[in-house]
Amino acid sequence: MESNKFNSLIARVVAQHRGLYRVLCKDNEFWAKVPGKTIYQATSQIDYPVVGDLVSIVTQVSGHAIIESILPRINILQRKSAGKHDLQPIAANLYAAFIVQSVDRDFNPNRFERYLTVVEAAKIKPILVLNKCDLITPEELNGKMSLLADRFKDIPILTTSTLRVDGINSLKKAIIPQHIYCVLGSSGVGKSSLINRLLSKESLKTQEISNQTKKGKHTTTHRELFILDGGGMIIDNPGMREIGLADAKEGVSNVFAEIEELGKDCRFIDCTHQHEPGCGILAAVESGKLSTEKYQSYIKLKKEADYNDMTSLEKRWKDKSFGKMVKTAKKQIRK
C-alpha cells in the first residue's frame, strides 16, 4: 500500500492455487509467484506465503507479480495433514476466531473447549458464537449463556440468528477494521450463512478468480480472504473448515501448563499420570493442590489429543484392538 524506491508494493495474499498466489494491493489484484531463490532456500511449508500474509511484491510488465518477501507474521495457524508428520499452514495473521455452535443439536461446551485450546495455542483471540437462536426460547438461551459464562470466564459470547438482524449487527460491531478473523465450528452450524451476512452483496463470496497460464490453460480458484465493509477481513478456506480436534495437542499443553509443570516431578519420564508410583500430578491431586475436576478434564483432553495425534494407521490399529476387546468382554458377560 506504500511503495519504496525499488517499486516494491505491500500486498495481502487472498488466495493460493498450485504455487500461484492471488494478492491484493489497494484496489488492484495480481497473480504472483515466489522466485526460484525462495523455493531453493525454503526448508518447510511456512517459508511460503499463506492466505492472510502481507507480502512485498514487484509487479511485472506482464501484469503478474513476484513475491520478494513475507512480512513478519503475527501468528500462523497450522494443522496436521492426515497421516503426515509435518504441519500444513492454513492462514497467517489471524486476530480472532469466531467459534460457532448452533444452540439446538450442536450445543456442546466440551467441544467449545477443544476449539478454544486450538485457537489459544495459535495465539488467536476466541469469540464464542451461539447461532440459530431463533430455534429456542429466550429462557433456554439464557440458561445456555450462563452455563458458558461460568465455564469460560473472560471469553466474549455472542448470540446470533442469521434470520434476525440484531445478532448480526453485534457480530459486525465486534469486528475491528484491519484485523483478520476466521469462523470455526462443525459443519451445519451456520458458518457460511454468517459469513454471507457479514459480506456486502458486491463481495460475491463464490466469485471465481481465473488465471491464464503461459500455455493458454485456464485455472480458477476461489477467494479465501474477504474484505468486509468496515475494513475487517474474514478468512474462510477448506483447511480452516477442518481445523478442530486434530490440532489440540499443543493447546492442551498450553491450557494445562501448570498441570504439566507438576508432571516434571514424576518418577517416570513417560508417566501417563494415571496410576504410576511417584507421579507428581497424582501427588498434587492427593494433597488437594490440584482439584480432581481439573485433573480429570486434563486427562480426558490429553487422551483425545493423543488419539488425534496418531497416524491414521495407528488409529485403525487401536480401534481394531479396542473392537476386539469389546467383543471378548461381551463374550465373557454372556458366559
Q: Which residues bind ligand GDP (CB under 6 A)?
A: 131-132, 134-135, 161-163, 185, 187-193
C-alpha 96/C-alpha 115 separation (Å) is 12
CA atoms within 13 A on the CB side of 276: 14
> 30 or 98: whose CB is closer to ligand GDP?
98
CB under 5 to 8 A by kind: which of Zn ion, ligand GDP, none does 279 bind? Zn ion
Could you tell which of Zn ion, ligand GDP, none binds residue 163, using a CB distance below 5 to 8 A set by kind? ligand GDP
Question: What's the min distance (Å) between Cβ of 244 and ligand GDP?
Answer: 12
Q: Which is nearer to ligand GDP, 174 or 283 (CB)?
A: 174
CB of 242 to Zn ion, least distance (A): 32
Would you tell me which residues interact with Zn ion (CB under 5 A)?
Answer: 266, 271, 273, 279, 281
What's the min distance (Å) between Cβ of 158 and ligand GDP? 12
The option from ligand GDP, Zn ion, none interacting with 271 (CB < 5 to 8 A, set by class) reads Zn ion
Q: Which is nearer to ligand GDP, 165 or 333 (CB)?
A: 165
The cell for 21 is 498466489
Q: How far is the CB of 159 from ligand GDP (least distance, A)?
A: 10
Whether residue 259 contacts residue 296, with contact meaning beta carbons closer than 8 Å, is answered with no
Cβ nearer to Zn ion, comparing 118 with 271: 271
- Binding partner selected for residue 7 from Zn ion, ligand GDP, none, CB under the kind-specific 5 to 8 Å limit: none
Q: Phi, psi at residue 60, to the nearest 5°?
A: -115, 165
What is the DSSP-derived secondary structure letter of residue 44? S
Cβ-contact 254, 117 below 8 angstroms: yes
266 makes contact, choosing from Zn ion, ligand GDP, none, with CB < 5 to 8 Å by partner type, with Zn ion
- For 140-176, the three-class secondary structure string (H helix, E strand, C coil) is HHHHHHHHHHHHCCCCCEEECCCCCHHHHHHHHHCCC
Q: Where are the beta strands (DSSP E) in the chain?
A: 9-17, 20-25, 28-33, 54-59, 65-70, 76-80, 87-92, 96-102, 125-131, 157-159, 180-184, 208-212, 218-222, 225-227, 233-235
Output 193 or 272, the one with its CB closest to ligand GDP: 193
In angstroms, what is the minimal distance from the CB of 238 to ligand GDP? 12
CB 61 within 8 A of CB 23: no
Contact 117, 297 (CB under 8 A): no
CB of 289 vs Zn ion, minimal distance in Å: 14
Residue closest to ligand GDP, measured at CB: 190
